[in-house]
Structure 1
Amino acid sequence: MYEIHGVCEPRYNAVREAFARNFEQGRELGASLAVYQRGRPVVELWGGRASRTTGWRRDTIALLASATKGLVATAAMVLVDQGRLNLDAPIADYWPEFAVSGKAKIPLRWVLGHRSGVVTVDPPLTMGDIGQNGAVSRALAAARPAWMPGQAHGYHCLTMGWLVGEVVRRVTGQSVQRFFATEIAAPLGVDLHIGLPADSDRKVADLVPPTVEQLLKGRDDPELTGLNRAICDPGSLFHRSTFGSIAMKGDLLAAACIPQAEMPSFGGAGNAAGLARMYAALIGEVDGVRLLRPETADRARTVEASGMDLVLRCHTSYGRGFMLPGGPMWPGSCSPTAFGHAGVTGVFAYADPDHEVGFAYVPNRMTELIEGGDARVRHLVEATHRCAAT
């Protein structure tokens, strides 16, 4: 039996029921869920196990995997809102060393929209490189695009966070981790981090991979046939841009557990309450804090790329650093104006400007899909959409 803790306004009871049902039907181990509407919390729930010996608590955090890209995108769009970054300016304007190998004209929005082609690192980075000041930026400056920049799109699995992070560092003098912590997390008072906090061991939930049965079921989706083939092909662009770009043994997420490792594409940590609050502050005011002006929020969700993804080999849609509805990576039906990000840990978070909603779900049982989108989160997204629209 799993006890659900927290609060839920009566109008959102269907969301609480969907959250509880995930546990009752054996889909869930531990998780947190939060919804903001019109700048205030209407749902904050948690339950289950954070580890074999501890229950999930209100302050439990978990690894966010690629949902960390939403934090990086937020940092970039805050700088755009402040007039310190220009989406249309070549990255080389901020980072001159980047201008080689056909990359001189790549604008920031092509990286945020996964159109730059800079998706692989050859030779692959080692953990020593990642921990060494400047080694990653030098490798990316020397990298060659995998396709003609701007002519196609493909998920920048590892490189998006490093590329945007280097631009942020050039403009602010701070790492993207530090900028996010001081300019976004602190004003909002959220337990969200790009990188794992050194003092967080006591409250980080243990990740549990999906079973073989769950993985096989997750791969039944015909929309994911191309992706499933790419996962098994060492020569595929998916394989080359993930396992072929970091020289390490075991799961890439193991590296995200090293506090000093700066992996802004997938190394973040946090809880649903913090994520939902951040996404709510992207589209409205939350306790006096609004991260973006309305016109900048509109730019964040403007379609930058849509169609066949050369890396994931399925339909994807991207705005400026955020996933957009459409294709198998976006779970469930919701407003067409929504924008957010998923992660392989099962995390999913988004903002819905139409209904003034910030939503986040953070579990510790990893998804059977490559980026979120499984039945657990689909049920929660659809219940939230129905409740918000009434």
Structure 2
Amino acid sequence: MHHASDILLTLFVVFIAAQIGAELAQRLKLPGVVGEIAAGCVVGPSVLGWITPDQIATGTPLDVLAEIGVVLLLFAVGLETRLEDLKKVGKVAFLVGVLGVIVPFAMGSLWAHGNGFGWSRSLFVAAAFVATSAGITARVLQELGALQLEESKVILGAAVIDDILAMLLLGAVVSLQGGEGIAVGHLLAVLAGAVGFIAVIGVGGARVMRWNSSWLDKPRNPQSALAIVLAICLGLAYVSTLFGLAAIIGAFLAGMIASETRQQHTLEKQTEPLLALLTPFFFVITGSKVDLHQLANAEAGVMLLVVTLIAIAAKLIGGFLGALPLGARAATVVGFGMVPRGEVGVVIASLGLTAGVFTDQIYAIIVAMSLLTAMVTPPVLAWLLRRRGAAGGG
């Protein structure tokens, strides 16, 4: 049972930890998100224990608040992303998304099989290498004011494709764990539904908003436009989960639709206080979920290092090859932008643990890999983007 006073104290601890972590990171010339994730590791169960495992379990107030935070973050990113801009990089984004799934899946399954897993379990392990966390990269791009760059459009477009393919792969490998064959017809139906949902909402919704958005101001509430688009955001976040997609995809689409309205700039300003309050919870909670005790021996440390290097290299190679038409410098930015696994890898690891596919140690290693890729990427991406700017690339 969660008492109101205990919840408020925990919220206070998490929020203050996020602010201190972000401030320290920025003083070290690192993106604030790195400090927020690190702060989560410190105040979480593995170090100070100010956040306990039962407080961050699925469905708890902290978990829900973290989910709302990342949903709002992707909504805000969508607000700065126009459909026409994504169309311009559509082919490159598709290549990046596809290769960014194939290469990590192949490398992850080979590593797992080489470490004694049977092929069906190896494929489950490999699924944790696949899906990019759009939330991590989006926050870095937003902090650096780089959302309008061509590379950023490619990353965001590829992240949507990545999510669809990762969802299909996960469905396939879960079927294999139960000894079932892969139901190709079912997977194709799921794929058609997901693509149809994105196409109808993304293209149809954008056209409707472009045609007439004055109805957003019809209610008497002076903030009616914000209230209505936030309702659309939450609604589409939910509907996207019905199609097997991450909630953040629906939130991103809602923001992209709202970016076509004449109230776009007002909406951006009005969402800033909400982001300042809620998004830090997502990153601190993400950091708090790693169990450092499972990694406190040399064997686990070496395995974590190898897994993390494979995870980084696989996404970097896939993203780089897919984005090569933009040039080597831009392709490197895109490749690193696709590296973070974040909460997606954590979710897949949790499914593997529940299904009995992973031991506690393998689970901890995959979760730690997901968080390490989330922490390593922001400073490297920031450095690459600053170099790009210094070289006159934007």
**TM value normalised by structure 2:** 0.30
Larger relative contact order (C-alpha < 8 A, sep ≥ 6)?
2
Q: Whose radius of gyration is greater, 1 or 2?
A: 2
Q: Which has the higher helix share?
A: 2
The structure in which a higher percent of residues are strand is: 1
TM-score, normalised relative to structure 1: 0.31
